[in-house]
Amino acid sequence: MPLEPTASFPTLTVLDHPLVRHKVTLLRDRTTPTKQFKELVDEIAMLMAYEATRDLALDRVPVDTPLETTTGWAVRGKKLTLVPILRAGLGMVEGILRLMPSARVGHIGLYRDHTTLEPVDYYFKVPGDASERDFLLLDPMLATGGSAAAAVTSLKRAGATRIRFLCLVAAPEGVQRLARTHPDVSVLAACLDRELNEHGYILPGLGDAGDRLFGTR
Ligand code: PRP
Ligand code: URA
């Protein structure tokens, strides 16, 4: 069962599923190699997408079974858009696309300045009809919340009005900053961690998600 929003974190839902908790523990483990780390991010993202798409719009469609014609349902997947925040968000895309292959994919390029911890943006591309779309903004880490808040601001500038943020590990500081800046954006996380350290890393966290996904350091 997902953990519902609370008074301190009104925008946050934590996906408290045994499989997710198991896989997040493997992600945290410093000895987990890059290949397995990538597979785990992919699998957790897919499980999260299942929860995040509970209220997707459906159309009634006719379907011919071997015996007769009946009415079924089709997801309006074409209007769903995934937007990974580069780099680490890329690791969440394929798992979600396996569930919704017709979703479109935009990209937002941001990195955190190591000194100020503020986001620096370098790329933005989403489908043109943003106002008609449902966006799932993807990034494994919500730390200070600066990157997520800046990405949402860019999406809204492009016309987006329906945005959800999916992350694997959230820090209380990041959830609260995003909620202050964009109270309309709900957050689905695989876990809510304790705090940030003095370098803006999440504790206990999993380290640098981009480096662990792509084997850089
Ligand atoms: C990481 C992470 C988020 C951001 C979170 O990216 O993937 O985008 O930090 O931190 P914040 O909430 O304090 O903004 P990073 O800046 O390391 O870039 P990378 O993915 O290119 O390595
Ligand atoms: N970005 C990461 O990749 N990890 C953190 O702990 C914080 C920001």
At 36-53, the pLDDT tens digits run 999 999 999 999 999 998
Determine whether 116 is an active site residue. Answer: yes
Residue linked to tokens 């994919």 = 105
pLDDT at residue 25 greater than cutoff 90: yes
Please state the rounded mean pLDDT for residues 60-82: 91
* CB of 209 closer than 6 angstroms to any ligand 2 atom: yes
pLDDT at 76 over 80: no
User: Which residue, judged by its Cα, is nearest atom 4 of ligand 2?
Assistant: 208
CB distance 201 to ligand 2 below 6 Å: yes
Per the rule left: phi > 0, alpha: psi between -120 and 50, beta: everything else, 159 is left
Among 92, 111, 117, 118, CA closest to 103: 92
User: Average of pLDDT values for 75-92?
Assistant: 90
Alpha-helix residue ranges (DSSP H) falling in 14-57 = 18-28, 34-52
What residue segments make up the domains of the chain, in order of their start? Answer: 2-56+79-214
pLDDT band at 102 (very low <50, low <70, confident <90, very high): confident
State the CATH class of domain 2-56+79-214. Answer: alpha beta
Minimum-distance ligand to the CA of 193? 2
Q: Is 112 a catalytic residue?
A: yes
Q: What is the mean pLDDT of residues 76-95?
A: 91
Task: Say yes or no to pLDDT of 16 above 90.
Answer: no
Percent of the chain clearing pLDDT 90 (strictly above): 86
Contact (CB, 8 A) for 173 and 196: yes
Q: Tens digits of per-residue pLDDT, 118-170?
A: 999 999 999 999 999 999 999 999 999 999 999 999 999 999 999 999 999 99
Interval between CA 111 and ligand 1 midpoint (Å): 6
**Separation CA 25–CA 36 (nearest Å):** 12
